Amino acid sequence: MKVSLFITCLVDMFYADAGKDMVEVLERQGCELSFPKGQVCCGQPAYNSGYVENSKSAMKNMIKTFENAEYVVTPSGSCATMFKLYPDVFKDDLNWLPRAQELADKTYEFTQFLVNVLQVENVGAKLTGKATYHPSCHMTRLLGASEEPKKLLNQVEGLEMIPLPNAHNCCGFGGTFSVKMGDISEQMVDEKVNSAIVTEADYLIGADCGCLMNIGGRAERVGKPIRVMHIAQVLNSNE
């Protein structure tokens, strides 16, 4: 199966390891991977802040970049959601609408792709310890990927999953919200970090690097001992 990677800016620049892990997991499942070079950003930072017009050029660039892809797979629930919103952004542009729709239809978040397209739940990963999972909002509610990560994590050998209290509450990232509304974001992320700590888990797992950067960055700052991992890193573990 031919898969084009949409790696996202955060993974490209800050979390390359999570990207590499995703590559290895997918290759083990027999996928043939490519990385379309023109990709930059899905447009989310501008779009979510209300700058729809300014975000369109980034979106068009992505549509062009992935035009020849069969499947587009990304390690981020919120960036996948952004692609899914493209048809709505271009709903009045007859030229771009079909192209946007085509991209939206062939885009999958990493865990959705594994479970729903490749139909695997056990990828042969091993990781010893206790973990808790934070369901990112866009991934869970807007994309509808709520069960897939759990199915995959339940199959990881040695990993004990502990429910996260008030898991449904947002971690307070929200893109520019995290800096524009710092006072509020701080309270939200503190509650998230504390909820993770009370589970006594060794790992907090998520599937969106924005949220992980927020939760992990705060946990480090306030000195809370929990290791934050992207789900691709867990699924590529063998320890």
Chain position carrying tokens 């970090």: 193
Provide the mask over 215-234, with x wherever binding to another protein is found by CB under 8 A and - wherever it is not: -xxx-xx-------------
Q: Which of these, 62, 75, 192, lies nearest to 134 by C-alpha position?
A: 192
Chain position carrying tokens 């909002």: 137
Only segment of 9-17, 113-121, 149-157, 199-207 that touches another protein (CB under 8 A) = 9-17
Could you say which of 60, 106, 151, 224 contacts another protein (CB under 8 A)? 60
Is residue 23 close enough to count as binding another protein by CB under 8 A?
yes
The rounded radius of gyration (Å) of the Cα atoms in the chain is 17
Q: How far is the CB of 125 from another protein (least distance, A)?
A: 21
Of 28-47, binders to another protein (CB under 8 A) are: 33-41, 43, 45-46
Amino acid at 238: N
Q: Which of these, 72, 71, 98, lies nearest to 87 by C-alpha position?
A: 98
Q: How far apart are CA 133 and CA 44, in angstroms?
A: 24
Q: Rounded to whole angstroms, what are the CA distances from 233 to 23, 25, 26, 106, 134?
A: 10, 9, 12, 24, 15
Provide the mask over 118-137, with x wherever binding to another protein is found by CB under 8 A and - wherever it is not: -------------------x
Q: How far is the CB of 158 from another protein (least distance, A)?
A: 26
CB-based contact 140:162 (threshold 8 Å): no
Is residue 58 close enough to count as binding another protein by CB under 8 A?
yes
Could you say which of 51, 126, 147, 160 contacts another protein (CB under 8 A)? 51
State whether residue 28 is helix, strand or coil: helix
Q: Applying CB under 8 A, what is the total number of residues that bind another protein?
A: 70
Of 137-156, binders to another protein (CB under 8 A) are: 137-138, 141-142
CB-based contact 22:110 (threshold 8 Å): yes
List residues binding another protein (CB under 8 A). Answer: 5, 7, 11-17, 19-20, 23, 33-41, 43, 45-46, 48-58, 60-61, 137-138, 141-142, 166, 168-170, 172-175, 177-189, 191, 213-214, 216-218, 220-221
